Amino acid sequence: MSQATAAAVPGRQRILQALSALRHRNYRLYWFGQLSSVLAQNMEGVAQSWLVLELTNSPLLLGLTGLTFAAPTILLSLLGGVIADRADRRRIMIVSQSASALNFFIIATLVVNHWIALWHVMVLAFISGCVRAFDRPSRMALLPQMVPREDIPNAVAVGGTIWQLNRLVGPAVAGMAIYLMGIGATYYFCFVASISAVGLWLPIRIEGRATAPAAAGLVHQVIDGLRFIRTNEIYYTFIGMTFFNSVFGMSYLILMPVFARNVLDVGSQGFGFLQSAGGAGALCGVLAVAYFSHKGGKGRLAIGGALTFGVLIIFFAFSKSYPLSLAVAFFLGVSSQFYMTTINTILQVNLPDQLRGRVMGIFGLTWDLMPVGGMIAGAIAEFAGAPVAVGFGGLMVAGMAAAVAIALPNIRRLEQ
């Protein structure tokens, strides 16, 4: 065997190991269903925004529509986590996805027949938020039931690529679909994508598992989940870090249009490239986690990633160079997804299954807290400017990571 051939074998083995979760039939069906489902979600966000602006031409009503979706998601996620621990997670996922598909079909039909009004959009957005509150904890909690424990880190990372691929492709596909076919046809496309996900998930077969005792009340089980997080160092530390990241760190994304227009003076085209650079970096970040998913030292990786992310935010905040800002945006995407996906992996590997829905439901609130961070950053930017607001957020994220590294050596030394 030549040296080149000998070197190629380990290379192929490393690539196969980086995709090891896809060897399992249930996970393959789940992954491709997720790909279709998340595409529909990304396209829905663009279509809904465009539809509200066409109906009202009001940024305020656009924001209120988003709040109509976010409010039930935040308020009901704890309850959704309890249901995920009491019932069949696969069935909840399929029923929720079917409800989302029906939502898309209704709004598409209203648009195509020119019956649509703003109150229709807001009611359906509220229903969609309610569905998401029950859907997301079940999806996140179902993942470890489809692969052996040793492949859970890889499954989390490979699953993360779905969101980053759709972050790159979904909005562009939605924009072209609206331009070429109209909003109604775009919603019908979302309907087809959602039904396709249901079709892929129906053949998934999951073995029985222990569930939370049905005799206990829902409120009691919610309290049990919160108590478990509060009394376990791994969970309150890493969930706290992700909440910190969402409130203080991700505000740079919300204020990025301000940087493009007022700080870097590159306009909407430059703003688009900044977004794309971050999306490309995020995809590289989750691919890196997939590649190193079977390695130890997860505590150091999570803390190091958070510290790097915070420092890079500060660099981005005070950069006056557009090429430098593009490069920093790319590495912000890498570091953010690297450490967030690593934390997701740590939680999934160490969680007892009977509490998985509740804990992952709370962890899932991370993405719903971004508007809170946007309001804080916007208020600071109003008085001190966008660079100070974003720089403050980066300092908070880096400071939190440094505090964890110094004060919690058990977290720092965590291997899986």
Q: Are residues 256 and 345 in the same domain?
A: yes
Report whether 379 contacts 288 (CB < 8 A): no
Domain extent at residue 243: 231-416
Angle, helix 356-364 to helix 118-142, in steps of 10 degrees = 130
The string over 43-77, giving b where at least 16 C-beta atoms fall within 10 Å of a residue's C-beta and e elsewhere, is bbebbbebbbeebeeeeebbeebbebbbebbeebb
Angle in degrees, CA 165, 122, 92, rounded to 5 = 55
Of 158, 186, 201, the residue that ends a domain is: 201
Of 182, 201, 220, the residue that ends a domain is: 201
Which run of H or E residues covers position 402? helix 386-407
Angle in degrees, CA 334, 296, 243, rounded to 5 = 50
Q: Are residues 285 and 156 in the same domain?
A: no
Q: With respect to residue 210, please indicate whether it lies within any of the assigned structural domains.
A: no
Residues in Cβ contact with 308 at an 8 Å cutoff, skipping those fewer than 6 apart: 335, 339
**How far is 163 from 340, CA to CA, in rounded Å?**
13
**How far is 127 from 121, CA to CA, in rounded Å?**
10
Per-residue pLDDT of the chain (416 residues; tens, 9 = 90+): 444 444 444 555 655 566 677 888 999 999 999 999 998 988 888 788 788 878 888 766 776 787 788 888 888 888 888 888 888 889 999 999 999 999 999 999 999 999 999 999 999 999 998 999 899 888 888 888 888 888 888 888 888 888 878 777 777 788 788 888 888 999 999 999 999 999 999 999 887 555 555 555 677 777 888 888 888 888 889 888 888 888 888 878 777 777 887 888 887 667 767 877 888 888 888 888 877 766 777 888 889 989 999 999 999 999 889 899 999 999 998 998 888 888 888 888 888 878 888 888 888 777 777 767 777 777 788 788 888 988 999 999 999 999 998 998 888 887 76
Angle in degrees, CA 226, 245, 241, rounded to 5 = 45
State the burial class of residue 226 (Cβ atoms within 10 Å of its Cβ: 0-12, 13-18, 19+).
middle
Q: With respect to residue 363, please indicate whether it lies within any of the assigned structural domains.
A: yes
**Of 15, 306, 55, whose CA–CA distance to 158 is shortest?**
15
Q: Are residues 304 and 194 in the same domain?
A: no
Q: With respect to residue 19, please indicate whether it lies within any of the assigned structural domains.
A: no
Angle in degrees, CA 346, 348, 349, rounded to 5 = 65
How many domains, the chain?
A: 2
Q: Are residues 254 and 310 in the same domain?
A: yes
**How far is 48 from 81, CA to CA, in rounded Å?**
27
What CATH number corresponds to the domain at position 324? 1.20.1250.20
Rg (CA), the chain: 21
Q: Are residues 103 and 187 in the same domain?
A: yes
Q: Are residues 239 and 191 in the same domain?
A: no
Q: With respect to residue 330, please indicate whether it lies within any of the assigned structural domains.
A: yes
Report whether 184 contacts 112 (CB < 8 A): yes
Neighbours of 297 (CB within 10 A): 15
Report residue 217 as tokens: 């009340």
Q: Are residues 39 and 187 in the same domain?
A: yes
Query: Any idea what DSSP says for residue 202?
Result: T
Residues in Cβ contact with 151 at an 8 Å cutoff, skipping those fewer than 6 apart: 20, 21, 23, 24
Report residue 77 as tokens: 């996620």
Q: With respect to residue 396, please indicate whether it lies within any of the assigned structural domains.
A: yes
Give the pLDDT of residue 394.
92
Angle, helix 59-86 to helix 218-231, in steps of 10 degrees = 90
Report whether 228 contacts 359 (CB < 8 A): yes
**How far is 88 from 96, CA to CA, in rounded Å?**
12
Q: Are residues 29 and 119 in the same domain?
A: yes
Q: With respect to residue 216, please indicate whether it lies within any of the assigned structural domains.
A: no
Residues found in the chain: 416
Neighbours of 138 (CB within 10 A): 27
Give the pLDDT of residue 4.
47
Taken in order 238, 141, 131, 186, the sign of the CA dihedral is positive
**How far is 409 from 299, CA to CA, in rounded Å?**
9
Report residue 396 as tokens: 């908070």
Q: Are residues 41 and 121 in the same domain?
A: yes
Q: With respect to residue 41, please indicate whether it lies within any of the assigned structural domains.
A: yes
**Of 6, 32, 19, 46, whose CA–CA distance to 286 is shortest?**
19
DSSP reduced 3-state for 111: helix
Q: What is the 3-state secondary structure (H, E, C) of 320-331?
A: CCHHHHHHHHHH
Q: Are residues 122 and 172 in the same domain?
A: yes
DSSP reduced 3-state for 215: coil
**How far is 281 from 277, CA to CA, in rounded Å?**
6
Give the pLDDT of residue 16.
55
Of 149, 183, 201, the residue that ends a domain is: 201
Q: Are residues 74 and 189 in the same domain?
A: yes
Q: With respect to residue 213, please indicate whether it lies within any of the assigned structural domains.
A: no
Give the pLDDT of residue 109.
96
Q: Are residues 166 and 241 in the same domain?
A: no
Q: How would you classify residue 58: left for phi > 0, otherwise alpha for psi between -120 and 50, otherwise beta?
A: beta
